[in-house]
């Protein structure tokens, strides 16, 4: 069937637009001008969701301050159209890629055109104009950073934190189940003094708890919104009180403590809040990488590795080696963590590129930030459901490794001194004998005294 088109126009002239799409001339121009990553690296859906929220909030603020321009009927249909953007039902009408203008102007206009067209359809007449009505009191330069902050807060609080909290709950259960499981500690990948498996797990759990604290600290600065700064931060063409009313409307809609940013010149050109917040995301990714590596080391084997824990067997691990099972959930976590770390570098460089009154790397900042939060949230949830919940201790292997550990000799330090303890450990290793045999043969302790003072289970 032949594609049907309609003619739309903007300040540069007429443009053919697919007849079954709500977008207009400026969106279509962007589609033609930026054929980069089409269908793959489109503007994140979280940004589109945030645009729906902010356009509805802006309409409410304009209705309160400019009722002669933002009439009751315009507010009604713009709000209905914005609600459809918020719900995601108009997702197919947002085709633009990340690789566009650095201010995100085309995506702002995409939102304006789609909401205006859908609002006019609902009204049954050409009532709303993309620029004059949907974009009233706004500029791309203040709407895109606003959408960035809204989407970041929602993603961090509603996706990442809950995923981490669920994994923390799993670790708390595992701690209770393994309080009496004593094993060899390890530092530098070498044997160290004993530790309980519960203590080891508690380190994982506390790391995630601290990461959540840092994420929450980072959310507060993100709640300051650029909306109301318009083109360069002066607020030109926005009525007094617009920024405050729009921020309040956004807070009411989302349940998040959004406020207008005090200094709009900062809000338009600096992306320091996003850099700071992504640092907290990277910290959680770093901890997850460490935890995943611990789990795959501890489960390595099953016969030629450490083998101190069992993890769920989710799928065959080899196309050639029958019966092989791999720590695949650990591997997905480590790959996601590496991606987050790469994204952090991109965000930091992009945030440094503010020239005069505007940062012009905002779409790539949004793309990388939201990808990091999305990937890490889903990665943690998958790791929890498909690996962590099924971890069990191989207590026999833990005890075997503990009994063979030369670092138990540390318990003898108070009785025979550091240097004599070192001699004991080296002799035991060299001659492949027990610590007791080495200590007694060296004359440091009698067999009875060794048994009296040597209790590895008390070393934890």
**What pLDDT digit, counting tens, does each position of 413-438 carry?**
999 999 999 999 999 999 999 999 99
pLDDT number for residue 185: 96
pLDDT above 90 as % of the chain: 93
Indicate the residue among 337, 365, 393 that finishes a domain: 393
In this structure, what DSSP letter does residue 9 have? E
Peptide bond connecting 340 to the previous residue in cis, omega within 30 degrees of 0: no
Is 316 within the bounds of a domain? yes
Say if strands 309-310 and 392-393 run parallel, antiparallel, or are unpaired. antiparallel
Q: How much is the pLDDT for 426?
A: 96
Q: Tell me which of 393, 417, 440 is where a domain ends.
A: 393
Spatial contact of 215 and 277, defined as CB atoms under 8 Å apart: yes
Q: 85 and 110, same structural domain?
A: yes
Residues 161 and 125 in one domain: no
Q: What is the pLDDT at residue 458?
A: 86
pLDDT band with cut points at 50, 70 and 90 for residue 1: low
Digit-coded pLDDT (tens) for 350-388: 999 989 999 999 999 999 999 999 999 999 999 999 999
What 3-state DSSP class applies to 455?
A: coil
Residue 236 lies in a domain: no
pLDDT reported for residue 77: 98
- Chain-centroid distance, C-alpha 241: 34
Band the pLDDT of 389: cuts 50, 70, 90: very high
Q: Are residues 192 and 335 in the same domain?
A: yes
pTM confidence score:
0.95
One domain for residues 205 and 168: yes
The reply to whether 376 and 430 lie within a common domain is no
Per the CB < 8 A criterion, the answer to whether 118 and 22 are in contact is yes
Query: What letters, b where the CB count within 10 A reaches 16 and e where it falls short, cover 414-424?
Result: ebbeeebbebb
- DSSP-derived letter for residue 258 is -
Provide the CATH number for the domain around residue 82. 1.10.275.10
Expressed as residue numbers, the domain containing 451 is: 405-459
Domain annotation covers residue 68: yes
Q: 413 and 217 in contact (C-beta within 8 Å)?
A: no
**Contact between 57 and 253 (Cβ < 8 Å):** yes
Catalytic residue among 79, 149, 184, 188: 188
**Cβ 167 vs Cβ 380: under 8 Å:** yes
Catalytic member of 11, 49, 202, 318: 318
Give the number of other Cβ atoms within 10 Å of residue 33's Cβ: 11
Among 88, 107, 136, where does a domain finish? 136
- Contact in structure between 359 and 268 (CB atoms under 8 Å): yes
Residue 121 lies in a domain: yes
Residue 188 annotated among the catalytic residues of the structure: yes
Of 349, 356, 359, the residue nearest 270 (C-alpha)? 359
Number of domains comprising the chain? 3
* Residue 434 sits in the same domain as residue 320: no
Q: What percent of the chain has pLDDT over 70?
A: 100
Q: Catalytic residue at 318?
A: yes
Instruction: Identify whether residues 126 and 150 lie together within a single domain.
Output: no
CA distances from 454 to 410, 413, 418 (A): 10, 11, 15
């Amino acid at each position: 069937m032949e594609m049907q088109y309609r003619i739309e126009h903007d300040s540069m002239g007429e443009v053919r637009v697919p007849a079954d799409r709500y977008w207009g001339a400026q969106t279509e121009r962007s589609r033609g001008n930026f054929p980069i990553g089409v269908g793959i690296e489109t503007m994140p859906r979280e940004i589109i969701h945030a645009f729906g929220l902010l356009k509805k909030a802006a309409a409410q603020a304009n209705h309160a301050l400019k009722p002669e321009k933002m009439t009751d009927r315009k507010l009604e249909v713009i709000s209905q159209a914005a609600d459809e953007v918020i719900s995601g039902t108009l997702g197919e009408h947002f085709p633009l890629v990340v690789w566009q203008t650095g201010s995100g102007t085309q995506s702002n206009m995409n939102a304006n055109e789609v909401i205006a067209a859908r609002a006019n359809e609902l009204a049954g007449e050409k009532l709303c104009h993309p620029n004059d009505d949907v974009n009233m009191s706004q500029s791309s330069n203040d709407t895109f950073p606003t959408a960035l902050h809204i989407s970041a807060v929602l993603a961090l609080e509603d996706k990442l934190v809950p995923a981490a909290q669920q994994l923390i709950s799993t670790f708390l259960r595992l701690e209770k189940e393994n309080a009496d499981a004593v094993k060899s500690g390890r530092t530098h990948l070498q044997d160290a003094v004993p530790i309980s498996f519960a203590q080891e797990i508690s380190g994982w759990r506390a790391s995630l708890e601290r990461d959540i604290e840092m994420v929450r600290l980072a959310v507060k600065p993100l709640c300051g919104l650029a909306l109301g700064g318009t083109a360069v931060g002066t607020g030109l063409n926005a009525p007094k009180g617009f920024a405050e009313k729009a921020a309040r409307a956004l807070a009411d809609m989302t349940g998040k403590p959004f406020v207008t940013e005090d200094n709009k010149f900062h809000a338009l050109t600096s992306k320091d809040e996003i850099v700071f917040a992504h640092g907290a995301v990277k910290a959680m990714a770093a901890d997850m990488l460490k935890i995943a590596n611990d789990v795959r080391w501890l489960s390595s084997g099953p016969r030629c590795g450490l083998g101190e824990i069992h993890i769920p067997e989710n799928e065959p691990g080899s196309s050639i080696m029958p019966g092989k099972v791999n720590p695949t959930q650990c591997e997905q976590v480590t790959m996601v963590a590496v991606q987050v770390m790469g994204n952090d570098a991109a965000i930091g460089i992009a945030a440094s590129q503010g020239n005069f009154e505007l940062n012009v790397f905002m779409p790539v900042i949004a793309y990388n930030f939201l990808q990091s939060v999305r990937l890490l949230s889903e990665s943690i949830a998958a790791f929890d459901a498909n690996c962590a919940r099924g971890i069990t201790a191989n207590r026999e292997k833990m005890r075997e490794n503990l009994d063979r550990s030369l670092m138990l000799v540390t318990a003898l330090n108070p009785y025979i001194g550091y240097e004599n303890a070192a001699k004991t450990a080296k002799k035991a290793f060299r001659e492949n004998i027990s610590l007791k045999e080495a200590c007694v043969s060296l004359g440091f302790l009698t067999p009875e005294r060794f048994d009296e003072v040597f209790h590895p289970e008390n070393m934890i």
